[in-house]
Chains A and B, each alone.
Chain A
Amino acid sequence: MNTLAEAPPPEARSEKDIIAGLQEKISASRLSLFLQCRLKFYFRYVLRLPKPKTPSLHLGSAVHTVLKTWNKARWLQQPLSLKAVHQTYLKAWADTTEGPVQWEPGEEEADKTTGWRLCDTYLRESHVPADLKPDAVEVPVEADLTSHGLPRLIGVLDLVQQRQIIDYKTASSTPNPDKAAHSNEIQTSSYSELYRHNTGAIETGVQLHHLVKLKNPKVVITTLPPMRPPQQTRLFKQMEAYLDGLQRQHFVPSPGMQCLSCEFFNECRRWH
């Protein structure tokens, strides 16, 4: 009988148990969200309030799937034709296993076209040479940071090539390199930490590949140097704040401009 990778039926867990689990494992997205708004973190990761998938998240997932498949195929020296890439995209677009997407009327077809044009642009412009062998493609990794008094760090690296960590992002506007480096620092530092723990080597750098959803799609690559000691210190201090906040259960709202697009806006307004 095959028992591998078969998830047990979901069981209801108490908040206490869930918070204990969140104290044991941390990811860049959890940490970023916690620092952005503790109440939003609470709704998403502790209460786990179900919300429909946003169109931009769906588009991003489909693009990620295409790039993962393309990178994997060239790694195995079985490069995909454009037709095969397109079929992969269509299949990824039709995949709703993560739940339904909340589309506005007429929005789905337009987004579907945009997503494909992003993939097409990225591959045509050869931002990653097809004959360059990856070190890893969408690999899940973790690092035990208990020696620093911190939890286990988990994450998925989109692409590692020549010891450079590459992360794909879809964006609606052209990113500013300095701002992109700052706003993604938790993620890039986390990935550097994960890479070092799992390979015993220091990364040559990190690249953010932004696929920008413009009328004429474009790719913006932000190249960052290896993580510096002050960045690692910042990351560890942020993790300490995360652990401390979870311990105290201070899940308070952080009202601001970012709330306009928050899926928990209504729940937040009712909080007291």
Chain B
Amino acid sequence: MAIKLSANYSKKLGLPQYSSHSFSASVEIELTDISQVQAEVQQLYALLQHAVDQEIQHPGFMPASNGNSPGNGRAQPQHNGNGTHGGYTPQPAADRWNCTEGQRGFILRILNENQIEKQEAEDLSQQLFGTGVKQLNKMQASQLIEDLLVKAGKPATRQTRWRPQPTTSQAA
């Protein structure tokens, strides 16, 4: 008999002028074995927390500090300052990368140092993963880095990636 596991993660953050916004995400999965519960709960918690944290950074419409609505209707990202949560600096969605900062920096450095157009990397990402560079997860970004290095004529092989170097010691 299948066992259903439901998980929900919710977060509420304070905003200026005593306002707040919250977001939650839920997921339901089926398990074949009750012994899987602990690991699945741990995994789902991490997944949902990450997903909610990614999205909740974009508060959308917020009342202006004078209590009036901003005329253009767009979000005015600003620090909360009311101490209800750690201050965060929301990034515009267009500037967010899903991969790590290190991977982002490395991709940009490969492009910069080898005169590879950003569009080339974007095209390669679309061809391989059907999505843009900024949307790549860590594994996909790692794959793209490998391919960009090949394009730059500097492929990292298994052997060179962790090539041992000599030591100062001698065998007994």
A residues sitting closer than 8 Å to B (CB atoms) are 2-7, 10-15, 18, 27, 43, 45-49, 75-76, 97-98, 135-141, 154, 156-157, 160, 195-202, 228-230, 232, 267, 270-272
The answer to whether the Cβ of B74 comes within 8 Å of any Cβ in the partner chain is no
Per-residue CB contact flags for chain B residues 102-121 toward chain A (1 = under 8 Å, else 0) read 00000001100110000000
Number of A-B pairs, beta carbon distance below 8 Å: 111
Within 8 A of A (CB), among B119-172: 127-128, 137-140, 142-143, 146, 149, 152, 154, 156, 158-172
B167 pairs with A98, CB closer than 8 A: no
Given contacts A4-B110, A5-B156, A76-B127, contact A12 B167 (CB under 8 A): yes
Chain A residues with Cβ under 8 A from B36's Cβ? 228-229
Contact of A267 among B114, B152, B158, B172 (CB under 8 A): B172
Instruction: Determine which of A11, A43, A198, A271 lies in contact with B138 in the assembled complex, contact meaning CB atoms within 8 Å.
Output: A198
**Is B94 an interface position by the 8 A CB rule?**
no
Q: Which residues of B contact A27 (CB under 8 A)?
A: 162
Complex-state Cα separation, A48 to B46, whole angstroms: 39
Please state if A200 and B140 are interface contacts (CB–CB under 8 Å).
Answer: no
B13-66: which have CB < 8 Å to A? 35-36, 38-39, 43, 46-47, 50
Query: Known contacts A11-B165, A139-B143, A229-B38: does B47 contact A200 (CB below 8 Å)?
Result: yes
Please judge, given known A-B contacts A13-B167, A199-B137, whether A5 and B143 are in contact too, CB under 8 Å.
Answer: no
| B142 pairs with A4, CB closer than 8 A | no
Q: Which residues of B contact A137 (CB under 8 A)?
A: 143
Q: How far is the CA of A29 from the CA of B128 in the complex (A)?
A: 29
Contact yes or no, A5 B50, CB < 8 A: no
**CB <8 Å contact, B165 and A13:** yes
B114 touching A140 by the CB < 8 A rule?
Answer: no
Report how far A200 CA is from B110 CA in the complex, Å: 26
Q: Do B142 and A139 have beta carbons less than 8 Å apart?
A: yes
Does B168 lie within 8 Å of A229, measured CB to CB? no
* Bound form: Cα–Cα A15–B165 in Å: 12
**Complex contact A199–B43 (CB within 8 A):** no
Residues of B within 8 A of A2 (CB): 113-114, 152, 154
Q: A139-B143, A199-B137, A232-B39 are in contact. List 20 more A-B contacts (CB 8 A).
A: A4-B152, A5-B149, A6-B154, A12-B166, A13-B165, A13-B167, A14-B168, A14-B169, A45-B164, A46-B167, A46-B169, A47-B171, A48-B166, A49-B171, A138-B146, A139-B139, A201-B47, A228-B35, A270-B172, A271-B172
Distance between Cα atoms of A62 and B29 in the complex (Å): 42
| Inter-subunit contact B140/A136 (CB<8 Å) | yes
Q: Are B169 and A141 in contact (CB under 8 A)?
A: no
How far apart are B108's CB and chain A's nearest CB, in angstroms? 11
Residues of A within 8 A of B149 (CB): 4-5
Q: In the complex, A18→B167 CA distance in Å? A: 8
Chain A residues within 8 Å of B171, by CB: 43, 47, 49, 267
- Rounded to whole Å, the gap between the CB of B155 and the closest CB of chain A is 8
- Taking CB atoms, residues of chain B closer than 8 Å to A43 are 171
